Chain A
Amino acid sequence: MTMGINEITLRVSEVMINELKLEDVTPETFDVDMDLVDEVGIDSMDLATVALALQDDFSIRFDEDDYPKLTTVRYIGEYIERKLSS
């Protein structure tokens, strides 16, 4: 069964919260349009860590050139959706 975009973004939020130990937020309340660099304050190493966890989780491959451009949970979710359907 294929995952829908909402399900994917929820899972992305969950992985991000777990990996980065974000407090005061749940996967359900995570603003998927929040800029991860400017508003959440994550840096390249954080994003690489999240990308590695998401690769495992969804059994896909992030291209190293792509992940710095994945600046919101929504973008990441859409990226994963494209990978899953290709």
Chain B
Amino acid sequence: MIPMKNQNAEKIRKSKPSCKFADILSDPKVKRRWEKVRKYFFLRESTYDMTRKCNIRCKGCYYYQGDKQYAQNNRDPEAWQRLMRAEKKRGITYVVLAGAEPSLVSELCEICYQEMPLGTIATNGLKYIPKSIGYKIHISVWGNDETSYLIRGAKNMLLRQVENYKGDQRAVFVYTFTRDNIHEVYDVIDILATYGCKVTFNIFSAPVDYDGSLRHTTNSLLFTRKTIMDLMSQYPEYVIYSSYNVVAHTHKFGLHDLYSCSYPRMNPSKDIGLGRSFRQYRADLTWNRNTACCVPDTDCYDCRHYAAGSAVVTARLFRHASHPLTFKSWLDYVDTYLAVWVMGYEKGKNLCDEFIAPPGFGVFKD
């Protein structure tokens, strides 16, 4: 018997659209945005742990879960160059350099950039990544400095991050909402906006077996939702987000339940898309299909991670092309994703400010 959540998904896969796709595109604003985003459909990602080292230890860090943390570092520049060339050959066009802390091996990041010019580096922002590496830089923020010190053990974290990346077109600050730091975001954004820094949001997604106090509850998700909407209206110049991002990432159901995760770890199909091409390399340049996703060792049923959504929601074009507002919401999501992840891409004004439900689900309200 199909569980209730999957019955909804089943229904939406089989249901008839309420209008033709051509009718949806007859709105000139929608058509323009569609043409703008579809130019980037060639992006095919894989992710790479650059080193097992990190200069801080954060509670709830996904990297130090599971066995990837024990992979031996491969610091041979030629091995990385060969890997990048092989990746290009199998169709990869976009790299995400992540665990544990890529800034500690910037010479390897530079090699990746020389071979694969589109990508993002996820960093804690404490060590500056040279300007010659033209990737987007995502700087993780986990609350105000007091909370950062408690969770991450680093002092004056935000000011050090801002000092490194203010005025840097590569930089996007990623504020992770945990259950406990929701109200702190106002102080943080105030500082980021003062320095002209762009910010987007992540929702803490518990690693497998994590039972600590950072894990969200339905109440904290709703509070997060309300807070983000408030921030979007207060700081429109600095916040990169959309109403549909809010719905998708603060829903009581996680991304897998809402959209069926397309990463190999949850998707056995090798026919096409991420299930076919995505790999998550460890620091020793090996990979394992059974664990391959953008945030390995996250509890898939709690996953609301911004990186996961960037692939999982955007991949669901087909089911969002069923109604004008649903499609506008999806376009806003893709526009947000591209602005956060692709150098030089400028986000447009959101097309839909309403909360639109994910296909087959409700919006999730109080």
Residues of chain A touching chain B, judged by Cβ–Cβ distance below 8 Å, are 37, 41, 43-49, 51-53, 55-56, 61-65, 67-69, 71
Contacts and interface: CB of A to CB of B under 8 A. Distances in A.
**Which label, helix, strand, loop or mixed, suits the secondary structure of the A interface?**
helix
Nearest to B91: A41
A77 B22 CA distance: 21
Contact of B13 (A44, A46, A48, A63): A63
A56 B21 contact: yes
Interface stretch (B142-150, B300-308, B315-323): B315-323
Contact of A46 (B21, B41, B262): B41
B166 interface: no
Interface residues of B, number: 26
8 contacts: A45-B315, A51-B318, A52-B318, A56-B20, A56-B21, A64-B12, A68-B272, A71-B271
B21 A43 contact: no
Interface in B306-334: 315, 317-319, 321
Contacts, number: 58
B272 A44 contact: yes
Contacts of A68: 269, 271-273
B276 interface: yes
Contact of B22 (A47, A56, A62): A56
Interface string B148-177: 000000000000000000000000000000
A63 B318 CA distance: 9
Contact of B14 (A47, A48, A51, A63): A63
Given A52-B21, A61-B17, A63-B14, A43 B317 contact: no
Contacts of B22: 56
Contacts of A63: 13-14
A55 B17 contact: yes
Given A56-B20, A64-B13, A37 B276 contact: yes
A53 B317 CA distance: 13
A62 B273 CA distance: 18
Contacts of A37: 271-272, 276
B131 interface: no
Contacts of A64: 12-13, 318-319
B16 A44 contact: no
B166 to A, nearest CB: 35
B273 A44 contact: yes
Contacts of A71: 271-272
B263 to A, nearest CB: 13
